[in-house]
């Protein structure tokens, strides 16, 4: 084999490797992982304005959202990052700063006490099948199922937040 042929074969092999890598990256981005930017303060202190998160798109193709999951909700004008609070078929209410799901007090370990006292009373609300009740962790200012987003259809939930990747000093798991 001449030096020219060997060089040509190397270029072909490199081109194949690059094309395969681009294809695999496209598949991963389309069906498994994507990124989202947190806009606003509604998920403080868990997520802060401007943080970038990687979310798992595949997880809800094989399973369903669970209470406590931080989810990405797709709407025509923008995506929202919120926490799943109540599941299909459940009844939720907030009374005297306490959250009740199906009549039982639910401890919200993911928010601070100050946020709990800013939630306000609502409900009871029966969650229909195929829908979820979501709230931001910063209850005083969050646009969520209580006040603007309404109940979230399962098809509008496009993924679960897995970790913060930017800013680099804030790296961490979000679940």
Catalytic residues: 42, 82
Query: Taken in order 83, 87, 88, 90, is the CA torsion positive or negative?
Result: negative
Query: Taken in order 136, 112, 107, 63, is the CA torsion positive or negative?
Result: positive
Closest by CA to 160, choosing from 81, 88, 45, is 81
Residue 26 burial class via C-beta count within 10 angstroms: exposed 0-12, middle 13-18, buried 19 and up: exposed
Closest by CA to 171, choosing from 55, 91, 59, 51, is 51
């Amino acid at each position: 084999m001449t030096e020219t042929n060997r060089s040509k074969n190397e270029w072909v092999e490199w081109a194949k490797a690059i094309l395969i890598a681009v294809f695999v990256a496209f598949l991963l981005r389309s069906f498994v992982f994507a990124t989202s930017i947190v806009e606003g303060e509604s998920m403080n202190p868990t997520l802060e304005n401007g943080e970038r998160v990687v979310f798992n798109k595949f997880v809800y193709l094989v399973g369903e959202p669970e209470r406590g999951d931080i989810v990405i909700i797709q709407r025509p004008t923008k995506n929202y990052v919120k926490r799943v609070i109540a599941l299909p078929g459940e009844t939720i209410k907030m009374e005297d700063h306490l959250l009740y799901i199906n009549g039982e007090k639910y401890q919200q370990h993911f928010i601070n006490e100050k946020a709990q006292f800013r939630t306000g009373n609502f409900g009871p609300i029966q969650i229909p099948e195929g829908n979820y009740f979501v709230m931001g962790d910063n209850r005083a200012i969050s646009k969520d199922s209580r006040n603007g987003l309404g109940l979230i259809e399962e098809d509008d939930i496009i993924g679960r937040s897995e970790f913060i990747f930017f800013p680099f000093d804030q790296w961490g798991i979000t679940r």
